[in-house]
Amino acid sequence: MTVNTREFFDGVAILTDQRNMRVTMKQSAKGAMICGASSFAGGLVFGPVGLAIGGIIGGLSAWQMSKDEFKSLGEIIKNDLTDYQREQLLQHIMASVRDIEITDIAILLPLLMSTESVQATVLKTVVTYIGRELSLRVVD
C-alpha cells in the first residue's frame, strides 16, 4: 500500500491542530515593548493609575497588531512548506522513527494516528525542524 506524502502531512497537520500547536511570527517581543512603553508613559503622566491604564492600552494595541501573526503549525505544514522542505522534513521524521523499526511511510501513517509514542516522536521532530530550518518558534 502506497501512501501519498500529502496524506501523511495532512495527518501530521491534523495531529498538530488537535494539540493546538501554533507558530509565532516574531511579534511577541514587539508587543511586549509596546505594552511596556505604554505603561511607562501612562505612569509618567498619570502616576500609579496611569501604569494600569497604559498597560491596558498597550496590551490592546499589541494584541491588535499581532492578532494575525500566530499561525497554526498544521497550516504551515500543509500550505507554506516547499516540496524540498517537505522532503527534508519527511527524511527527518523517518530517521527519528527508525529505532521503532518503521521503514515505510505506509506503515507510519496508521501508527501516527493511533500510537502516542509515535505521535510524540513525530511532533518533536516537526517542532525541531520548524525551529531550526525555518527559524520559527512553536507554542502550544
pLDDT along the chain (140 residues), means of 10: 72 88 72 87 90 90 76 85 88 81 72 82 88 79
Cut 0.85: pTM above it = no
Q: How far is CA 74 from CA 6, 19, 49, in A?
A: 12, 10, 42
Q: What was the pLDDT predicted at 24?
A: 73
Nearest to 13 by CA among 56, 71, 83, 55: 71
**Domains of the chain by residue range:** 1-24+70-140, 27-68
Phi first, then psi: what are they for 47, rounded to 5°? 75, -150
Q: What was the pLDDT predicted at 3?
A: 55
Q: What was the pLDDT predicted at 131?
A: 85
